[in-house]
Amino acid sequence: MKTIAVLGSTGSIGTQTLDVVREHGDIRVGALGAGSNIDLLEKQIREFRPGLAAVWEEEKARELKSRVRDTNTKIVSGMDGLLELAVLPEAELLVTAIVGMIGIRPTMAALEAGKDIALANKETLVTAGHLITELAKKTGAGILPVDSEHSAIFQCLHGENPREVSRLLITASGGPFRGYKRKQLEKVQVEDALKHPNWSMGPKITVDSATLVNKGLEVMEARWLFGVRLEQIQVLVQPRSVIHSMVEFRDGAVLAQLGAPDMRLPIQYALYYPERPYLTGERLDFEKLAEITFERPDTETFQGLPLALKAAAAGGSVPTVFNAANEKAVELFLKRKIGFLDIYDIIGLAMEHHKRIEHPNLQQILDTEAETYDWIESRW
Ligand code: NDP
Ligand code: MG
């Protein structure tokens, strides 16, 4: 029986990972980890009986410890706790369902210990892609994408020669504000940004989808995962999220992966790769679907994508600044301290302010993150 550890088990990806595990009953959950939601974590501990559970917040960890005294689950906390979860000896795979670049150290620790990663936590790959891919190569650990677009590409590449790829076509829904112009975006509220047309996800990535920052992060993610040049990646709006992404090969053939918008499918593909056990849920009905339409992304209005491409082209520590500034700006937007369009201004100004480092090591990445946060906090 395969044993996994799930970091971020109480979130959107985390709970859907546990849905897949529950559905098949042939994977053991060795460890669970969350930030502070100990009510749900306690339920998960009672259902999945992991040997270890990590809670970021010390006080919540103490409370959980006393609540689950009757179980055999050891409770740990803080970054040390997340790292203990990441290298759990009996787990062969770590699901990184945590949000934000706080996932860097646990992801690297797991790779160093030779564990495979089911990677949802894109912020980590965007900021530390050069370190992570190098580490995975060194230890032979696999990185299995969970993000639906990257899973789609990964599925299209199965059995193919990666050297014969000419382009990756990453699809985007366009988010809740597709068709809006700048003037309309000035007035949008948190509630509007949190209404994604096709996917139900955590708040941060839902805002990222509305700004198109998410698509920008996904371009950078794809570059690391599939070793292609930036110019080989095209973003295409496909409003109904039926085609999850496509690969064009040298001979002009295009392979696409289609399916109902349901994250359990890419999660399951990462957990069971290369097997495809039966998964309950909606199936595509092509007669009802009738048409699949495409649009070019409106990069003039939705600055998230061009800013990301600029950060990706600059490379070095700039993607870290892009990501950290976005994390902070989204946090401020969700707290209603700034408007929607301020997210773009904050990212742009933070990138301008930063002095680029060529090949940042882990400490330099973490320092760049802290400096970016401080710089934004002192101004907004
Ligand atoms: P959620 O906000 O729903 O969940 C985040 C999870 O991370 C929660 O379990 C949360 O715990 C945990 N967490 C947050 N901070 C910490 C911390 N300091 N220490 C330990 N755990 C922490 O996010 P999503 O599930 O939507 O997204 C997770 C990742 O997956 C993101 O990187 C996102 O971009 C990516 N992704 C998500 C998709 C989706 O469909 N949701 C699709 C593709 C990628 P708590 O509940 O206690 O706060
Ligand atoms: Mg995605």
57: its two tokens: 């917040």
Q: Which of 7, 13, 36 to mutate to test the pocket of ligand 1 (most atoms within 8 A of CB)?
A: 13
Chain segment 175-207, per-residue pLDDT in tens: 999 999 999 999 999 999 999 988 899 999 999
Cα 170–Cα 214–Cα 177 angle in degrees, nearest 5: 95
Q: Which ligand is nearest to the CA of 13?
A: 1
Residue 229, H or E segment:
none
Chain segment 147-177, per-residue pLDDT in tens: 999 999 999 999 999 999 999 999 999 999 9
**Looking at residues 208-226, what average pLDDT do you find?**
98
- Backbone angles phi and psi of 107, in degrees to 5: -65, -45
Question: What letter does residue 59 receive in the DSSP assignment?
Answer: H
Chain segment 80-129, per-residue pLDDT in tens: 999 999 999 999 999 999 999 999 999 999 999 999 999 999 999 999 99
Residue nearest atom 19 in ligand 1 by C-alpha distance: 35
3-state secondary structure of 209: helix
Atom of ligand 1 minimally distant from the CA of 56: 19
- Give the gyration radius of the chain's Cα atoms: 20
Per-residue pLDDT band at 212 (split at 50, 70, 90): very high
3-state secondary structure of 173: coil
Q: What is the pLDDT of residue 99?
A: 98
273: its two tokens: 């790769």
Q: What is the pLDDT of residue 120?
A: 98
Q: What is the pLDDT of residue 138?
A: 98
Residue 15, H or E segment:
helix 12-24
Give yes or no for a contact between 256 and 294, defined as CB atoms under 8 angstroms apart: no
Residues bordering ligand 2, an ion, CB closer than 5 Å: 147-149
Strands 233-237 and 165-172: parallel
- Residue percentage of the chain with pLDDT more than 70: 100
Residue 149, H or E segment:
helix 148-156
Q: What is the pLDDT of residue 42?
A: 99
CA atoms within 13 A on the CB side of 326: 32
Average pLDDT over the chain, rounded to whole? 98
Residue 245, H or E segment:
strand 243-249
246 lines ligand 1 (CB under 6 A): no
Q: How far apart are CA 27 and CA 21, in angstroms?
A: 6
Q: What is the pLDDT of residue 184?
A: 97
Q: Which ligand is nearest to the CA of 205?
A: 1
- Backbone angles phi and psi of 122, in degrees to 5: -65, -30
- Residue percentage of the chain with pLDDT more than 90: 99
Q: Which ligand is nearest to the CA of 212?
A: 2
Residue nearest atom 16 in ligand 1 by C-alpha distance: 35
Chain segment 125-147, per-residue pLDDT in tens: 999 999 999 999 999 999 999 99
* Model pTM score: 0.98
Q: How many CB atoms lie within 10 A of CB 246?
A: 22
Chain segment 256-315, per-residue pLDDT in tens: 999 999 999 999 999 999 999 999 999 999 999 999 999 999 999 999 999 999 999 999
Chain segment 40-59, per-residue pLDDT in tens: 999 999 999 999 999 999 99
Distance of CA 50 to the CA centre of its chain: 24
